[in-house]
Amino acid sequence: MKKGRPSSAPKKLKDGYYMTITLKNTRKPIRLMRETMDEVEHAKIKFKNQSFQYIGQVEKDFWIDGPNKGKRTT
Q: How many domains does the chain have?
A: 1
Closest CA to 30 of 11, 47, 9: 47
> Is 35 a member of any domain?
yes
Give this prediction's pTM: 0.82
Residue 10 lies in a domain: no
Is 68 a member of any domain?
Answer: no
Helix or strand run (H / E) with residue 38? helix 37-46
pLDDT in tens, the chain (74 residues): 778 888 888 888 999 999 999 988 888 999 999 999 999 999 999 988 889 999 999 999 999 999 999 999 87
Q: List the domain range (segments joined by +) for residue 39.
A: 16-63
Q: Is residue 6 part of a domain?
A: no
pLDDT at 25: 87
Rounded CA-CA distance 41/37 in Å is 6
* The pLDDT of residue 17: 96
In a domain, 3, yes or no: no
Q: Is residue 47 part of a domain?
A: yes
Residue 70 falls inside a structural domain: no
Report pLDDT for 3: 82
Specify if 48 maps to a domain.
yes
